[in-house]
Amino acid sequence: MSTYPPTLCGLASFTASLRAALPPGSAGGVVRAVESPDTVGGAEVAGDLVAGSPSSHRAAAALLDRDDVAIVQHEYGIYGGADGEDVLRVLDLLRVPAIVVLHTVLSAPTPHQREVLNGVIAAAAAIVVMSETARARLVAGYDVPAGRLVVIPHGAPDTGGAAAVPHRSQHRQILTWGLLGPGKGIEWGIEAMALLPAQWPEPRYLVAGRTHPKVLAQQGETYRRSLLLRTERLGVRDRVRFDSRYLAAASLGRLVARAEVVLLPYDSHDQVTSGVLIEAVTARTPVVATRFPHAVELLSGGAGRLVDHRDPAGIAHALQEILVDRAAAGRMVAAAGIAARDLGWASVATQYGRLGAELVSALAPVVA
pLDDT of residue 200: 83
Structure-model confidence comparison of residues 250 and 51, the more confident one: 51
Which band of pLDDT confidence, cut at 50, 70 and 90, is reported for residue 41?
A: confident
Going by pLDDT thresholds of 50, 70 and 90, the confidence category of residue 160 is low
Give residue-wise pLDDT tens across range 10-24.
999 999 999 999 988
pLDDT at site 83: 96
Residue pair 18/155 in contact by the 8 Å Cβ criterion: yes
Average pLDDT value for residue range 320-329? 95
As its CATH architecture, domain 173-342 has 3-Layer(aba) Sandwich (3.40)
DSSP element (H, E) containing 294? helix 293-298
- Looking at residue 168, its pLDDT comes to 47
* Superfamily of domain 10-155+344-363, CATH level 4: Glycogen Phosphorylase B; (3.40.50.2000)
pLDDT of residue 252: 86
- Mention every residue, 6+ apart, whose C-beta is less than 8 A from residue 362: 97
The pLDDT of residue 198: 86
Q: Are 261 and 175 in contact (CB under 8 A)?
A: yes
pLDDT exceeds 90 at position 25: no
Write down the mean pLDDT value for the chain.
Answer: 92
Question: Using 50, 70 and 90 to split pLDDT, how confident is the model at 230?
Answer: very high
What is the reported pLDDT for 162?
A: 43
Q: How far apart are CA 280 and CA 259, in angstroms?
A: 10
In the chain, what are the domain boundaries? 10-155+344-363, 173-342
Lowest mean pLDDT among 36-45, 238-247, 255-264: 36-45
Contacts of 167 (CB under 8 A, 6+ apart): none
Instruction: Compute the distance between CA of residue 132 and CA of residue 152 in angstroms, rounded to an integer.
Output: 9
Using only C-alpha atoms, the chain has a radius of gyration, in whole angstroms, of 21
Mean pLDDT over 279-303 rounds to: 96
Q: Where does the pLDDT of residue 317 fall: very low under 50, low under 70, confident under 90, or very high at 90 and above? A: very high
